C-alpha cells in the first residue's frame, strides 16, 4: 500500500480500501458540501487506524477546490471562508488568544514556497497589541508569523527554531503551512488538507525532519497543506495501469496475454518502476508548468482563510483594509 507516497489522509484511506476491498478499521469518514466545495473529514480513531493508513491519530479535513477556483476571485473568497470555518472548528479563538503561524518551505523553490508566501500575506498583529493597544480594535487577536527557511539554507532544524519561539512567546496555538505530495495528479494544487496532528517538514519529498506537533512543542499544532508535487514513479505506475487495462479489454479471458497481464503484482511492479527510474532521475517529483501563478493564488486563499479564522471579530472587508 505504501509503495506510492501521499501526504493526504484521504488518499491513504482510499488506497487502503482499494487494496483490501473493505472499509478501514479504526478510521471514520464523513463528507459534506459547502458552496460547491466538497469537504471530506477523515478521523483516525486509534492505533489500528494509524497502522492501516500510516497517519497519526487525529482529524484530517480535505477540501476540494471547485474547478477554475484559482482564476476566479469570487470562488477564491468562497474557499477562504470555508477554510476559515474549518479552522475555527479546530481552534478556540478570543481576543487574548496568541497564535504563531509558521510558513514551512524553501522560498527559492516555487513548489515549496507555499508556506513563506502565505506568511507574507497574513494579518500580523501581536506587535500592534503591545505597542499601540489604545489605537487598535480590542477584538483583534495577537498573531505572529515566521518563515524559518529550511535546514539546507539555515543549518538549523526547523523544529528547533519553532520550539525556541514557542518557549519564548508561549502561543496558544501554532499553525503550520507546508507543501505536500499527492498520490493523484488531479489533486495537485486543487486540494487543501487541514489536520490537528502537526506535521513533519520535508515529508512530502521523503526528507523527514523533527516533527512539529503538540508532543514535541507542548502547544496544539494545526497543519495546513496543499499537494504541489506528485512523484514521477506514481505517474509512470498509473500510465502502465492504463495501458494494461486497455490491453486486457482487447484480450479474451482465455488468452495467454490476458492471463499474464492479470497476474502482474502491482506492488512488485511499483518496486520495479522505482528501481528502473532511480539511476536516471532519482526520486523525481513533478509539478505543473503554471506553478508560479498557482502558488500565488493558493497562498492568497490560505492566508485569507487563516485571517478569517484568527480574527473572528472582523469581516473580509475589514481584513483587506488592514492589509492594504
56 CB contacts (<8 Å, ≥6 apart)? 44, 50, 197, 198, 213
**CA-to-CA dists, residue 317 to 133, 137, 165, angstroms:** 22, 15, 31
Phi, psi of 235 (to 5 degrees): -60, -45
**The pLDDT of residue 252:** 61
d(CA 14, CA 230): 17
**pTM value?**
0.86
Phi, psi of 274 (to 5 degrees): -65, -40
d(CA 149, CA 167): 19
d(CA 135, CA 64): 40
Q: Which CATH architecture has domain 9-233+284-323?
A: 3-Layer(aba) Sandwich (3.40)
Q: pLDDT tens digits for the chain (324 residues)?
A: 345 678 999 999 998 998 888 999 999 999 999 888 999 999 999 999 999 999 999 999 999 999 889 999 999 999 999 999 999 999 999 888 999 999 999 999 999 999 999 999 999 999 887 788 777 888 899 999 999 988 888 888 899 999 999 999 999 999 999 999 898 888 999 999 999 999 876 554 455 567 899 999 999 999 999 999 988 777 777 777 777 777 767 766 666 766 665 666 666 666 666 676 666 666 778 888 899 999 999 999 999 999 999 999 888 888 888 887
Domain ranges of the chain: 9-233+284-323, 234-281
Angle value at C-alpha 267, between 261 and 270, nearest 5 degrees: 85
Amino acid at each position: 500500500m505504501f509503495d506510492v507516497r501521499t501526504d493526504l489522509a484521504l488518499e491513504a484511506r482510499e488506497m487502503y480500501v482499494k487494496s483490501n476491498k473493505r472499509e478501514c478499521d479504526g478510521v471514520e469518514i464523513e463528507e459534506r458540501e459547502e458552496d460547491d466545495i466538497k469537504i471530506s473529514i477523515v478521523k483516525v480513531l486509534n492505533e489500528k487506524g494509524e497502522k492501516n493508513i500510516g497517519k497519526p491519530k487525529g482529524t484530517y479535513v480535505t477540501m476540494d477546490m471547485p474547478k477554475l477556483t484559482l482564476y476566479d476571485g469570487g470562488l477564491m473568497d468562497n474557499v477562504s471562508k470555508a477554510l476559515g470555518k474549518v479552522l475555527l472548528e479546530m481552534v478556540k479563538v478570543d481576543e487574548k488568544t496568541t497564535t504563531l503561524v509558521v510558513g514551512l518551505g524553501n522560498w527559492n523553490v516555487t513548489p515549496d514556497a507555499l508556506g513563506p508566501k502565505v506568511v507574507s500575506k497574513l494579518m500580523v498583529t501581536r506587535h500592534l497589541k503591545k505597542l499601540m493597544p489604545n489605537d487598535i480594535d480590542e477584538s483583534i487577536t495577537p498573531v505572529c508569523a515566521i518563515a524559518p527557511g529550511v535546514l539546507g539554507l539555515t543549518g538549523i532544524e526547523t523544529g528547533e527554531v519553532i520550539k525556541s519561539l514557542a518557549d519564548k512567546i508561549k502561543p496558544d496555538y501554532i499553525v503550520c503551512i507546508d507543501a505536500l505530495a499527492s498520490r493523484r495528479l488531479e489533486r495537485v494544487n486543487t486540494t487543501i488538507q487541514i489536520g490537528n496532528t502537526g506535521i513533519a517538514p520535508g515529508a512530502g519529498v521523503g526528507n523527514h525532519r523533527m516533527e512539529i506537533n503538540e508532543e514535541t512543542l507542548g502547544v496544539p499544532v494545526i497543519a495546513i497543506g496543499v499537494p504541489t508535487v506528485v512523484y514521477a514513479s506514481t505517474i509512470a505506475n498509473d500510465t502502465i495501469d492504463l495501458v494494461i487495462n486497455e490491453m486486457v479489454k482487447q484480450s479474451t479471458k482465455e488468452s495467454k496475454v490476458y492471463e499474464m497481464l492479470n497476474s502482474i503484482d502491482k506492488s512488485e511492479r511499483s518496486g520495479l518502476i522505482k528501481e528502473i527510474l532511480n539511476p536516471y532521475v532519482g526520486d523525481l517529483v513533478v509539478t505543473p508548468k503554471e506553478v508560479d501563478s498557482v502558488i500565488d493564488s493558493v497562498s492568497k486563499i490560505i492566508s485569507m482563510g487563516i485571517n478569517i479564522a484568527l480574527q473572528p471579530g472582523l469581516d473580509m472587508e475589514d481584513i483587506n483594509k488592514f492589509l492594504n
